[in-house]
A and B are shown apart, each in its own frame.
Chain A
């Protein structure tokens, strides 16, 4: 029996889909059987980021409506063994799916996969409720901005109300230069407010944009700082004790293991 992890944030555009695609890939590269689920109904893009768009035939909606079997709807990623995508319907809207249905889908998927990563839409409404419905754990994504941290805090409160208590934090798009000039929130201040464990820091990296356009997650790119950072998060999810490097302008330097309490 695997684990269902919802990737969520409250605010849009902070890197939920990017994180889902990269972590899904990184976990599969580690030899795990992974399903990534796009729960952003109506605005699906996980398939695009993963470069699987042209191979999507059925969506989660088709499974729920009995048009096809779950197995048929899972798109296999040919670059990595045991990585599958369940796409979202573009035609329907978020309210066409009920939390109970999502929960059932997730339960079924975790019977046969080690990890089920659910890419949540932005917001705190039905779409988020659906994405989180079947989750055992949550990865909360934020950028080092006041508004994003505020929304992440809100989401953490809602997740805790749903009794999802194993929450860890990904800080995305950290730019060491901007932290240094005081134009960006520091990781320690973010953790201070959100008071959940940090599982990883992803630097601002233009490789992300390139890889998104190519449909090739940065995890495959050994030269990408962001890709490597996602790999380390995958290792931490697997229980390995991998320290979080401190991001200084001009690259990595030093280690701040203290940020990661878990």
Chain B
């Protein structure tokens, strides 16, 4: 099997939170445009969250780090909590544990239990999400035992299962996993997102309850009756 080329930036959910992993070989310009590409379509799904910046063997100077930090914060509302790197030739960083106001973690302390199906977690919300409420599960899947009302939003790194009516916004595979699905006992969403794909609700008003599942097929979100 042929190896896919390594993406310039990757978003992944880890046990210690979400990480933006950067290809150590890429230039600053490449990193910047890759971040913008990766983040389009995420909307404000991730706004208000903290994340770790994983630089691998890459060494960035203070100025570059501040630039990335501001880019993530101002455009996507993300706050960089920690910088993770395993560069040997940057002793200053690990000594001070502080770069551009962000604590740094040496590569040795990396926690490599990354989000894989074997250790994915599922979060249960046991009530209806009402307008203005947003719930996230960036370590795995989300199950709502209730409705997701218009104006409410549910975001998961994996699948979104609504055992009720989904009338608000749901985002599955929010960190990029386009094989994630959205399932609802009554699927009447304002908007569905899976990975980087978005679809709006059809204009027609349905009266009948329909149990449906949404997934990505050929670069588009399709909705099928579930039976």
A and B held together in a complex: yes
| A residues with CB within 8 A of B | 146, 149-151, 153-154, 156-157, 192-193, 195
Task: Identify the closest chain B residue to A146 (Cβ).
Answer: B150
| 27 A–B contacts, CB within 8 A, in A order | A146-B150, A149-B150, A150-B131, A150-B150, A150-B151, A151-B131, A153-B130, A153-B131, A153-B149, A153-B150, A153-B151, A154-B130, A154-B131, A154-B132, A154-B151, A156-B130, A157-B130, A157-B131, A157-B132, A157-B133, A192-B165, A193-B147, A193-B149, A193-B150, A193-B167, A195-B128, A195-B147
Chain B residues in 8 Å Cβ range of A157: 130-133
> Which residues of B line the A interface, CB within 8 A?
128, 130-133, 147, 149-151, 165, 167
* C-alpha spacing A150/B167, complex, angstroms: 11
Q: In the complex, which residues of chain A have a beta carbon less than 8 angstroms from the beta carbon of B132? A: 154, 157
Residues in A neighbouring B131, C-beta threshold 8 A: 150-151, 153-154, 157
Chain A neighbourhood of B147, CB < 8 A:
193, 195
Chain A, residue nearest B127 (CB)? A160
Neighbouring B residues of A151 by C-beta, 8 Å: 131
Q: Can you name the residue of chain A whose Cβ is closest to the Cβ of B205?
A: A182
**Shortest distance between the CB of B199 and any CB in chain A (Å):** 21
A140–B126 Cα distance when bound, in Å, is 23
7 smallest beta-carbon distances between A and B, as pairs: A157-B130, A153-B131, A154-B131, A154-B132, A153-B130, A150-B131, A150-B151
CB distance from B203 to the nearest CB of A (A): 14
Q: Which residue of A lies closest to B150 (CB)?
A: A150
Measured in the bound complex, the distance between the Cα atoms of B131 and A156 in whole Å is 9
Given A149-B150, A154-B151, A192-B165, 14 additional A-B pairs, CB 8 A: A146-B150, A150-B131, A153-B130, A153-B131, A153-B149, A153-B150, A153-B151, A154-B132, A157-B130, A157-B131, A157-B133, A193-B150, A193-B167, A195-B147
Minimum C-beta distance from B133 to chain A (A): 6
Tell me the complex Cα distance, A193–B151, Å.
Answer: 11
CA A154 – CA B133 in complex, angstroms? 8
Considering the chains assembled together, what is the distance between the CA atoms of A82 and B130 in angstroms?
38
A145 and B204 alpha carbons, distance in the complex (Å) = 18
With CB as the reference atom, state the residue of chain A lying closest to B133: A157
Bound-state Cα–Cα, A154 to B131, Å: 5
Contacts of B130 in A (CB 8 A): 153-154, 156-157
| Minimal beta-carbon separation of B154 from chain A (angstroms) | 14
* Min CB gap A83→B, angstroms: 34
A193's closest neighbor in chain B, by CB? B149
Most chain-B Cβ atoms within 10 A of its Cβ — which of A146, A156, A157?
A157
- Distance (whole angstroms) from the CB of B167 to the closest CB of chain A: 7
Q: Which residues of B contact A146 (CB under 8 A)?
A: 150
